[in-house]
Amino acid sequence: MAFLRETLDRSSMSGADVDWVHRLVGDWQMLADLSFADLTLWLPVQQDDQGDPDASPWFLAAHARPSTGPNFYHDDVIGQAPSAERQSWLSQVLASGRSVTPEEVGYVREQYVPVVRAGRPIAVLVRHTDLQNMRQQGGLEVNYLQISQQLFSMIGEGAFPMDNVATGVGRGTPRVGDGVVRLTAEGVIDYASPNAVSALRRLGHTDHVSGADLSEIVTASLVPGTTVDETMPLVLTGRAPWGTEIEAGAINLTMRSVPLMRGGARVGALLLLRDVSEIRRRERELLSKEATIREIHHRVKNNLQTVAALLRLQSRRLDDPKAQEALAEAGRRLATVALVHETLSEGFSERVDFDDVAVRLLRATVEVASTQAVVTTAVEGSFGWLRPEDATHLAMILAELVHNAVEHGFEEGGPRDPDFSPEVLVGAHRDRQQGQDLLEVTVRDNGHGFAPAEPGVVRSGLGTQIVEALITDLRGEITWKTTEPHGTAVRFTVRLRGPSTG
């Protein structure tokens, strides 16, 4: 199925005309629902000297099906060329700028409407009605059809779609099936669909809806002291093509207004309204849960930092240097886990942007490592978004590897070279293989490196044992090697848990 932006490339329209067509198609589902009919949009083809002389000068650029009745076209028809008869009608309507309804053929009725912008027809909209399967007409059907004809007339006058439309009601924007109200030019309700009547009843209006003033109904339902959106009066009277939301006690209604124009004058308005009380309730629950989760992460971070501080205090009371070092190492590892929880407490996502964590982690780890050298750090590539449990494991692994690189790689300032500049580089590469997210990380330093004859020494410390245990838990692998002319490179690959998109 072709996208509208692709089919528009075949047209002869200007940029402003293309924008007009995009806006029309973005809003014409309302027209299809009100008219109980399929809508197709036909555009003239871009003519050039290289084109096929037998090709049709028209093509079908967009198609909408109604959600209120049977479909006319069941297959994808976008991109089709018109029949000779349809091409004749299309050319006639584009040239005259007037709507045409040819005689019915069998059980099919079609209406050709010029799409006008700035006083000039630029395309043709066709309404296709299946008379054999059409809904039995009652009060709702008659009023819907009347409103749709007003909108089709506005399209032919260049008054629809409208300029400066700013609905801004977010999730829960109303549709035709949610509730339809037609207002007079004075803001009095001329017609209300059953769903619209039910919505107004929930606002507390118990009298007749037809003939009532919509502004008075809504105003009477507002709780004293409620802050009213400045767009509300314009929407309730149908004076502007905007949207608003009304909150009256436990009821939330979204409303969208479409002024009905004739000859440049407003003759009434179409209002779509929807009861979004349940949607807003769920949104409030979600926000409450997110706030609770953030508070939990914040408290966990504070508790971990408190424990780390207590360990530092305790280490100062000990005379044994090894015991002091052990407590200091434990405190550093707790601070690393606290950094992940701090990141989680700052955002609404349930995942961690680990690129930010990695930069902060490197800076903190280098600062606390005991070395005489001033070490620079850098992160290359991207870790992406990670689940909290993966982020915690990865933060611990990185902290241990970077701390080991700084503390042991740059003892006594590092290699004796007048141009030597101590650095630790962390590289990350994400890949997806066989439905799994793979993360390859390299920690490289230009320090002393480990002795080739004793590679096992590098892996004998508690920190390295922690690293290997965490990598095993992530179903990964790790390797160490000495680099030339000096330094160490540690590379590990882990398999991340589940989706990790932010």
Give pLDDT tens digits for 396-437.
Answer: 888 888 888 887 777 665 555 666 678 889 999 988 887 788
Instruction: Determine the average pLDDT of the residues in 251-280.
Output: 91
The pLDDT of residue 414: 55
Q: How many angstroms from the chain centroid is the CA of residue 124?
A: 33
The helix-helix angle for 321-346 and 354-368 (nearest 10°) equals 160
The pLDDT of residue 2: 52
Can you tell me the distance from the alpha carbon of 284 to that of 290, in angstroms, rounded to the nearest whole number?
10
- Give the pLDDT confidence of 477-493 residue by residue, as tens digits: 998 888 877 788 899 99
Question: Looking at the domain that runs over 176-275, which CATH code has it been given?
Answer: 3.30.450.20
The pLDDT of residue 370: 57
Residue 50 has pLDDT above 50, yes or no: no
- Give the pLDDT confidence of 292-335 residue by residue, as tens digits: 666 776 777 777 778 878 877 887 778 888 887 777 777 777 77
As its CATH architecture, domain 355-502 has 2-Layer Sandwich (3.30)
With CA atoms as reference, report the closest residue to 150 among 258, 239, 71: 258
Residue 56, token pair as written in the block: 């049709």
Can you tell me the distance from the alpha carbon of 81 to that of 59, in angstroms, rounded to the nearest whole number?
5
Instruction: Determine the average pLDDT of the residues in 144-165.
Output: 91
Can you tell me the distance from the alpha carbon of 203 to that of 216, in angstroms, rounded to the nearest whole number?
12
Kind of pairing, strands 251-262 and 243-248? antiparallel
- Give the pLDDT confidence of 222-241 residue by residue, as tens digits: 877 667 777 888 899 999 99
The pLDDT of residue 455: 46
Residues 6+ apart with CB under 8 A from 140: 193, 194
Residue 278 has pLDDT above 50, yes or no: yes
The pLDDT of residue 391: 84
As its CATH architecture, domain 4-157 has 2-Layer Sandwich (3.30)
Q: Name the E strands within 131-170.
A: none
Residue of 464 and 266 predicted with greater confidence:
266
Residue 198 has pLDDT above 50, yes or no: yes
